[in-house]
Amino acid sequence: MVKTISIVINGRVHGVFFRRSAREKAEEAGIGGWVRNTPQGAVEMMATGEQAALDDFLGWCRRGPEKAVVTTVTWSEAAPEQFDGFAVRH
């Protein structure tokens, strides 16, 4: 079953290649959506995929790339959306 979730990640997540790494992980898992930095210092994502792929992706979000320090990850189900790949938004 395909789901769409909204994710917000806080911590040291800017300037550590979080967006690029998230795109790579999402593409490997067959997840569509987007990722962007927020002015408040968080990373925000929208992700659509199979439940198992989203679970694995959320696990990665809790760690992030090597130089990230993730303090919190919050997520919620969102209205279903279709995406063409996984984009880094600016």
Active site residues: 19, 37
Closest CA to 4 of 63, 53, 61: 53
DSSP 2-49: EEEEEEEEEEE-SSSSHHHHHHHHHHHHT-EEEEEE-TTS-EEEEEEE
